[in-house]
Structure formats: structure tokens, C-alpha cells
């Protein structure tokens, strides 16, 4: 009898722990309402800034500088891991727990709408407003949801078409021109073109670029899918056709940024779409064979520059923060010209301020800036939608099949369309 009691007691203890924990937070998973956007607007005091790994050691010096000037509103810098998925999940965990411990956070472009729609990000208006006048317009669009700015653009990024200037005298302006030059690649026995076609976020970037460059779009102005257009078909077909006839080498289906960069640096590609970081490595790395043969131009479009997918990060303020006034000041501090210049020189991060792209000193240090400016000016943010995780899966899944030729471009686009419609229909 006693034994049974003890055993039952043990089980009950475990159960009780479970129940007491349930009590506070049952709705956490399902909750929709976010924090109170009107609260703590005048709060001042120490805050925490959260972002992924600070690879180039740019954030720490900036934070030190801020702290020296603001002894009563010190910023603590919390680094997350280097993987975007984990950064996303970490933020979601803290938001769901309504944690006031994360005040300001780096928000990937594609999470901004989701976090805004959940009510987790403080709208940057009225007291929280920041000046966006000098910023590249596409970066501002990428930080806004339904016309309201929810985060401050911190750094930008855009695709660049790298080419071998020893083999290609004048870079192509359009996709068709580029395909026409593939005979050069064949003559030299190398691959013609590659982007990132492995099934991951990079494929969404590339597929969206193909569709946008051909004049289509993934979502229309109301956030509804618009993939059943001739333009979208042309865009995706361009890539699928190039893969089928070998202009895109077959191994490109396994390429993420690094594998593609490696192939290009080894001299195995004539054209390669990648981010600005390739420039820094391809010109310095010991194994690079293209150090002096590296050409850069804007992505090719239908009759002019194509539409790059926009990369980069925004910085948002948590709706649960207690010290939003300090947070707002800190946002202004990191988007200031001085900080932006520091990001660029120290960390090779593309600035969001237009005028820095013409800055002589910066261009001397980062020769890709003029090309990047064209790229970002023509850039389209990846679909801005609170359902981004579902949308990107729909694009990856179907674009991958279409490129590999397992599915016709038509049915891939129609499945994409239906999947995105279903995601938006809610449950």
C-alpha cells in the first residue's frame, strides 16, 4: 500500500510540475496577439542587442562605442549561432515567451513580415520613427509590412553576375545574350552559367530572380500569388531550359553559395551568380585561379539589368521591450552614416545609404559597389508575406523539380500557385 502511494506520489509530482507550467502559458503556441505596441515607448535603460555570429567583428566595436557614450543605457550584445534557421527559431522562442530580455534584434529580410504580423515587432512610427530618406528604396520596402515600417534596414545585399573577363570581352546585358555566349564556354571546355540551385533558401533567391527578371512576380501587390503569368513561365523556363541543354552544368543542382564559388574560382565556370562576398575571396584566396580575370556586372534581365533578390538584414525592436526609447536611439545609431561606413569598410557589408555607393574611398576599397548599386536598385525583396516559410518551401520544391526536368514548368508553376494559395488560406 505504502509502496503504491510513493510511486503514485512520484508520478503526481511529475504531473503537477507539468500542470503548473501549463497554467501560465497554454496559449503560447497558438497566440496571435503580440506585445503592447504603445507600452514603454519612453522607457530608457540597458538593452540587449541580438544577432547572428559577428563574423567580421563589426558589431562589438560599435557597441563599445555606444556604451562609452551612454553609460546609463548600455547595450549588451548577444550572439546567436551562424545558422539562419536557428537564429529564426531562437527569436521565435523568445517572442513566444514574451521575453523582455531581447530588446533589439537583427531580423532577416524574409522574417520581417512574419514577425510584424505576429505583433512581435514594434512599428517604427511616431515616437519610434527613423529617417529613411537617404536609404535605397528597395531596402525600405523589404523592412515594411502593409505600408508600415517595422524594422530599420541595417545592411543590404544583392546578386552580382561574375564573369571571366579574359574570355568574355563585353559582359551580357540580357539572359539571351548570356546564353548566346555559352559557345565560348564550350570552346574552353568549361561550364557556362551557375547560380545556387540546391534545394534550400538559395534556390528561392534564384528562382525569384529568374521570375522577376522576366517581368513576372511571385506575389502581387495584395500578397496573393501571381505565378500563372506568361512572364513567370518565361523566367522559370529560362533556367530549366539552360539546365536541360547543359548551359548550366548538371552539378549546379548541388550548388549552394560555397560550391558555386569554388567552381568559379577553379576556373570551371564562365558566368556565375553570387553575392559580393565572392569578390573578396576570389581575389585573395591562394587557390583562386581567377584573381585577375574576374569581371562583374548586373544580373541579366529580358532587355536590361535583371531583378536581383534582395538580401541583407533589418534591425527591429521587440514589442515586449521595456526600454523602447533607448532602442530607438540605438537603431538610429546603427543606421547612421558613420556606422554604415564602418560596416562597409570593416565588414564588407553593403550599406543601405545610397550616397555611400558613390563614396570614392569606399569604392576604392570595395570595387563592386557600383555594380552592387545597380543590382540593389533593381532588386525586388523576396516575397514579403507573413507566410514566408510556406511560400519559400513551395517555390523550392517546385522550382527544383522543374529545373531537374521532373516536372513541366507549367505544372510546377501551377503547383507553386496552389501551394501558396493554400498557405494563405489559413486553417
**Least distance to another protein from the beta carbon of 130, Å?**
21
| Tally of CB atoms within 10 A around 399 | 27
| HSE-CB of 381 using CA atoms within 13 angstroms | 28
Q: Which is nearer to another protein, 133 or 425 (CB)?
A: 425
Return d(Cα 338, Cα 263) in angstroms, integer. Answer: 37
65 binds another protein (CB under 8 A): no
| Least Å from the CB of residue 169 to another protein | 29
Site for another protein in 292-351 (CB under 8 A): 348-349
As measured in angstroms, the least distance from the Cβ of 225 to another protein is 10
Among positions 60, 127, 186, 365, the unique one binding another protein when judged by CB under 8 A: 60
With CB under 8 A as the contact rule, the residue among 73, 90, 108, 237 that binds another protein is 90
- Residues 396-425 binding another protein (CB under 8 A) are 397-398, 400-401, 407, 415-416, 418-419, 421-425
Residue 18 touches another protein, criterion: CB under 8 A: yes
In this complex, which beta carbon is closest to another protein, that of residue 21 or of residue 244? 21
Q: Based on the shown chain and the rule CB under 8 A, indicate whether residue 48 belongs to the binding site for another protein.
A: no
Q: Burial level of 276, CB count in 10 A (0-12/13-18/19+)? A: buried
Which residue among 47, 51, 88, 369 contacts another protein (CB under 8 A)?
88
Q: Tell the smallest beta-carbon distance from residue 315 to another protein (Å).
A: 16
The residue (of 50 and 178) whose beta carbon lies closer to another protein is: 50
Edge-to-edge strands, sheet with 311-317:
75-79, 47-51, 104-108, 311-317, 152-157
Site for another protein in 375-394 (CB under 8 A): 386-387, 389-390, 393-394
Q: How far is the CB of 373 from another protein (least distance, A)?
A: 18
Residues touching another protein: how many (CB under 8 A)?
A: 103
Alpha helices in 70-170 (DSSP H): 84-96, 112-117, 137-142
Nearer to another protein, 115 or 175 (CB): 115
**Which residue among 164, 173, 199, 273 contacts another protein (CB under 8 A)?**
199
Cα angle vertex 56, ends 51, 59, to 5°? 45
CB of 23 to another protein, least distance (A): 9
Q: Which is nearer to another protein, 146 or 170 (CB)?
A: 146
**Residues 40, 48, 80, 234: which binds another protein (CB under 8 A)?**
80
Region 102-161 residues binding another protein, contact defined as CB under 8 A: 116-119, 145-146, 157
CA of 77: how far to CAs of 6, 48, 53, 163, 226, in Å? Answer: 48, 6, 11, 39, 41
What is the footprint of another protein within residues 233-292 (CB under 8 A)?
Answer: 250-251, 253-254, 257-259, 262-263, 266, 275, 277, 280-281, 284-288
- Which residue lies nearer to another protein by CB, 100 or 214? 100
DSSP 235: H
Which 175-194 positions form the footprint of another protein (CB under 8 A)?
none
Q: Which of 130/203 has CB closer to another protein? A: 203
**Of 16 and 129, CB closest to another protein:** 16
Quick one: 86 or 170, whose CB is closer to another protein? Answer: 86
User: Does 82 participate in binding another protein (rule CB under 8 A)?
Assistant: yes
Which residues 6+ apart lie within 8 Å of 21 measured at CB?
A: none
Indicate the Cα dihedral angle 9, 11, 17, 23, nearest 10°: -100
Classify 79 as helix, strand or coil: strand
Q: How far is the CB of 49 from another protein (least distance, A)?
A: 13
HSE, side-chain direction, 13 A CA sphere, residue 341: 11
Smallest distance, Å, CB 107 to another protein? Answer: 15
Question: Using an 8 Å Cβ cutoff, are 301 and 307 in contact?
Answer: yes
Using an 8 Å Cβ cutoff, are 84 and 106 in contact?
Answer: no
Nearest in space to 318 (alpha carbons), one of 172, 148, 122, 150: 122
Task: Identify which of residues 11 and 42 has a Cβ nearer to another protein in the complex.
Answer: 11
In the block, residue with C-alpha cell 513551395: 394
CB nearer another protein, residue 51 or residue 302? 51
**CB neighbours of residue 44 within 10 Å:** 16
Q: Find out whether 197 and 248 touch, Cβ atoms under 8 Å.
A: yes
**3 state DSSP class of 163:** strand
User: Residue 183 is placed in which grid cell?
Assistant: 559557345
Asked whether position 68 contacts another protein by CB under 8 A, the answer is no
Instruction: Give helix then strand counts, H and E, for the chain.
Output: 17, 11
Amino acid at each position: 500500500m505504502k509502496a503504491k502511494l510513493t510511486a503514485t506520489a512520484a508520478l503526481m509530482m511529475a504531473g503537477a510540475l507539468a500542470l503548473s507550467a501549463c497554467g501560465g502559458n497554454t496559449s503560447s503556441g497558438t497566440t496571435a496577439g503580440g506585445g503592447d505596441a504603445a507600452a514603454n515607448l519612453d522607457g530608457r535603460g540597458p538593452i540587449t542587442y541580438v544577432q547572428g555570429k559577428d563574423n567580421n567583428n563589426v558589431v562589438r566595436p560599435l557597441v563599445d562605442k555606444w556604451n562609452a557614450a551612454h553609460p546609463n543605457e548600455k547595450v549588451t550584445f548577444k550572439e546567436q549561432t551562424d545558422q539562419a534557421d536557428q537564429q529564426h527559431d531562437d527569436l521565435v522562442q523568445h517572442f513566444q515567451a514574451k521575453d523582455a530580455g531581447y530588446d533589439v534584434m537583427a531580423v532577416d529580410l524574409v522574417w520581417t513580415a512574419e514577425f510584424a504580423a505576429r505583433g512581435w515587432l514594434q512599428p517604427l512610427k511616431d515616437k519610434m520613427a527613423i529617417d529613411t530618406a537617404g536609404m535605397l528604396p528597395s531596402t525600405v520596402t523589404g523592412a515594411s509590412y502593409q505600408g508600415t515600417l517595422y524594422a530599420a534596414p541595417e545592411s543590404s545585399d544583392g546578386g552580382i553576375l561574375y564573369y571571366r573577363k579574359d574570355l568574355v570581352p563585353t559582359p551580357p546585358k540580357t539572359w539571351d545574350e548570356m546564353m548566346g555566349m555559352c559557345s565560348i564556354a564550350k570552346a574552353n571546355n568549361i561550364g557556362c552559367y551557375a547560380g545556387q540551385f540546391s534545394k534550400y533558401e538559395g534556390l528561392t533567391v534564384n528562382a525569384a530572380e529568374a521570375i522577376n527578371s522576366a517581368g513576372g512576380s511571385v506575389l502581387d501587390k495584395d500578397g496573393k500569388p501571381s505565378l500563372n503569368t506568361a512572364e513567370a513561365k518565361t523566367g522559370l523556363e529560362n533556367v530549366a531550359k539552360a539546365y536541360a541543354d547543359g548551359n548550366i552544368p548538371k552539378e549546379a543542382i548541388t550548388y549552394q553559395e560555397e560550391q558555386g564559388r569554388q567552381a568559379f574560382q577553379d576556373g570551371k565556370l564562365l558566368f556565375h551568380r553570387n553575392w559580393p562576398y565572392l569578390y573578396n575571396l576570389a581575389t585573395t584566396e591562394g587557390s583562386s585561379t581567377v584573381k585577375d580575370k574576374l569581371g562583374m556586372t548586373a544580373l541579366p534581365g529580358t532587355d536590361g539589368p535583371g531583378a536581383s533578390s534582395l538580401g541583407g538584414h533589418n534591425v527591429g525592436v521587440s514589442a515586449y521591450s521595456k526600454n523602447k526609447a533607448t532602442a530607438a536611439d540605438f537603431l538610429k545609431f546603427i543606421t547612421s552614416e558613420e556606422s554604415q561606413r564602418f560596416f562597409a569598410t570593416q565588414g564588407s557589408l553593403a550599406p543601405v545609404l545610397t550616397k555611400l555607393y558613390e563614396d570614392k574611398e569606399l569604392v576604392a576599397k570595395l570595387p563592386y559597389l557600383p555594380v552592387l548599386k545597380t543590382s540593389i536598385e533593381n532588386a525586388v525583396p523576396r516575397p514579403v508575406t507573413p507566410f514566408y516559410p510556406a511560400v519559400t518551401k513551395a517555390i523550392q520544391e517546385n522550382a527544383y523539380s522543374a529545373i531537374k526536368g521532373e516536372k513541366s514548368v507549367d505544372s510546377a508553376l501551377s503547383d507553386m500557385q496552389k501551394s501558396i494559395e493554400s498557405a494563405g488560406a489559413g486553417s
